[in-house]
Chains A and B, each alone.
Chain A
């Protein structure tokens, strides 16, 4: 089968750093993406890793290790507005036409 695992909840303090891990099992792999979703809102794209290593976009970074089927999203200088659900997502097929599979999401709560 195909599955993604990520923690259901994470709590952190404003201004701190938090890491959200994601492990996956798929029959193929064409990249790992991260999406953010605020309550009542639509998912918004944060980052994509197609190759091993770290991708940085402002306060957010994402890492991928294909040999370990593992990735993480790193959020720095946490702000209250970062309180949201974060989803990792993979394309199991070897083409951009492949469907995308989402994890169940990690609910991030930020404390003052």
Chain B
């Protein structure tokens, strides 16, 4: 049973550039959430996708956008990168049909460094 996978593992970008991160949810899961985790901090909720639509959004600027595909995989796009965007980006999947989807399965993350 494949868990949550993310690509790439590491990424180095220059300020002002754009980046796309990818996530494949755990087999059978239909909901994908994205988080940003700075060093020494807890994950910060960016947004959640279900049925190819953004269902919830955290306090992140419009530079952060996403997409969910019919196979439930998802992308996170960040435009006009800032130094402060350097962080670990985590994808988590869950199954909406289960009442109280409190259990999320996290991927290994993508470490983004902006120079």
Task: List the interface of chain A (C-beta within 8 A of B).
Answer: 30-31, 33, 35, 41-45, 48, 50, 87, 89, 91, 96-105
Contacts and interface: CB of A to CB of B under 8 A. Distances in A.
Closest 5 CB pairs of A and B: A102-B42, A42-B106, A48-B102, A96-B101, A99-B56
A41 B41 contact: no
Nearest to B92: A43
Given A98-B56, A99-B33, A104-B40, 5 more contacts: A44-B106, A87-B42, A96-B96, A97-B96, A100-B45
Given A43-B106, A97-B48, A97-B55, A102 B101 contact: no
A30 B5 CA distance: 28
Q: Which of B35, B42, B48, B100 counts the most chain A CB atoms within 10 A?
A: B42
B105 A45 contact: yes
Given A87-B42, A97-B56, A100-B33, A45 B103 contact: yes
Nearest to B41: A104
A31 B43 contact: no
B50 A97 contact: yes
> Secondary structure of the B side of the interface?
loop
Interface string B78-95: 000000000000101000
Interface string B15-57: 0000000000000000001010000111111001010000111
A103 B40 CA distance: 11
A43 B33 CA distance: 13
A42 B33 CA distance: 14
A38 B98 CA distance: 27
Nearest to B104: A45
B66 interface: no
B45 A96 contact: no
A34 B55 CA distance: 23
